[in-house]
Structure 1
């Protein structure tokens, strides 16, 4: 990955708030990172690294700069013979004791017609993922892995008592509202996570005078900036239609005057 883009992605990661702050959600306790401005990220990452794995490297870099904690182990695969049962993202030693931390970074769109609660309205750009599903997976599969019998030898090797380990989640997200929605209600989630809007194909005509850019998925995290190859509405519509025809919803940038913001064009 281009080093400038990598640093922009790291800065975008740093600027992304956690999805909830004050209360436990689904009895999932948020982990609060103590360092807000670590050193620039200069680790070499492969070109085909998935976005989620890139975020993990960003988190580990930030944790390494936090003098109040120590990384004991990361990306720990739990094996049952030749079968991989699952993976623990990271085990930390903090001033408050050991922590099993799971790391999540997601993009969710608010669909008022989906579900009947604040949490169930949030879905993935292609409707194949949902916040409710991810929270349930964390609660029912990922965090219980700590208590699996095959995990115990690792804990013993690290000198950790299972009963002393707290479980927390670092859940960052970028949220997108329907274009004309003005009154989204946030009681459980952090409204600071809202970074843009989403539209359907037939709403593109409302932005004929704008300029557009479609970043690679690996660059979705980064903040918008000027230094890209902007498209006019004709070229953008042609390109975005190739995504929509394949039932894929791309994240895009919209430039109107001095304002640049993120948005999704959805196929559904």
Structure 2
């Protein structure tokens, strides 16, 4: 049980230490919720154990918000329904001092592909190319945030004596960013360079890491910062583990320990 609690705390600490994807300005009309830095609290219990990564992040956010004396969570994970049909979900409505905020929570992993798109935002894609930063921003702007103004949302706002027009909208958008293994000039005019968490490389090039050791964290541990005291495996063992994953066209995240002891996160990708 103590091991589980320690893992949970490492996940929470990794989440807390992940920077916002942008700060001090809006990106395509999206404003970040800026929280002051404070001591990392002890996170011990999930409301729902064994939940997937996205829902785990939401639990971490709700817990973090609860540690601020001037924040009150009014709604969380609230489904908006038209009769029996669910038309969307409001992540959170909170009161910060005297301001009411509709907050959408996002935690993503993006890789920089200079050949994808033409702008800084367009270059960032998901590890398996199914997701992009631009798609997520567009979904937030066109679907998730407008849900606040849907006529069926008013039913859940009424008991709070709130109206949509009196509620500000913000996002809490954190991300880990990964750069190509080769030296590429990556612009950071809009996004937060502090989000860079490691690199990525194509499967056919992993022999360049043959003198390294490897560790593959479980999916729920992807939030964690790298640790030294883990069960490192050899290059040959790592190749055996990763081959069937790559065959399924899935890009796994691993930790790479270089010969001089430096540890970095790395996605091994299957796509060109």
Give TM-score, length-normalised by structure 2.
0.95
Query: RMSD over aligned Cα, in angstroms?
Result: 1.3
State the alpha-carbon separation in 1 of the partners of residues 115 and 14 from structure 2.
30
1:216 aligns with 2:204: no
Note the residue ranges of structure 1 that are not aligned, 5 or more in a row.
none
Q: Is the 8 A contact 2:114 2:123 kept in 1?
A: yes
- Residue equivalent to 1:109: 111
- Residue equivalent to 1:262: 265
State the alpha-carbon separation in 1 of the partners of residues 199 and 20 from structure 2.
19
Aligned-residue offset at 1:44: 3.4
CA separation of 1:149 and 1:123: change in aligned 2, threshold 3 A: same
Range with bigger deviation, 55-64 or 33-42: 33-42
Give the one of 63, 76, 84 matched to 1:74.
76
1:163 aligns with 2:165: yes
Give the one of 178, 183, 188 matched to 1:181.
183
Q: Is the 8 A contact 1:14 1:36 kept in 2?
A: no
1:93 aligns with 2:99: no
Q: Is the 8 A contact 1:35 1:62 kept in 2?
A: no
Deviations 1:168-190 (A, max 9, x none): 00000000000013421111100
Deviations 1:85-125 (A, max 9, x none): 10000000112510000000000000000000000000000
- Residue equivalent to 1:190: 192
- Residue equivalent to 2:154: 152
Q: Is the 8 A contact 1:99 1:168 kept in 2?
A: yes
1:18-57 → structure 2 map (5 Å cutoff): 18-44=20-46, 46=48, 48-57=50-59
Note the residue ranges of structure 2 that are not aligned, 5 or more in a row.
none
CA separation of 1:235 and 1:49: change in aligned 2, threshold 3 A: same
Q: Is the 8 A contact 1:176 1:198 kept in 2?
A: yes
State the alpha-carbon separation in 2 of the partners of residues 233 and 128 from structure 1.
28
Range with bigger deviation, 191-200 or 29-38: 29-38
4+ residue segments displaced more than 3 Å: 44-48
State the alpha-carbon separation in 1 of the partners of residues 149 and 36 from structure 2.
27
Give TM-score, length-normalised by structure 1.
0.97
State the alpha-carbon separation in 2 of the partners of residues 224 and 202 from structure 1.
24
Aligned-residue offset at 1:34: 2.8
Q: Secondary structure at the match of 1:173?
A: strand
Q: Is the 8 A contact 2:103 2:171 kept in 1?
A: yes
State the alpha-carbon separation in 1 of the partners of residues 65 and 118 from structure 2.
37
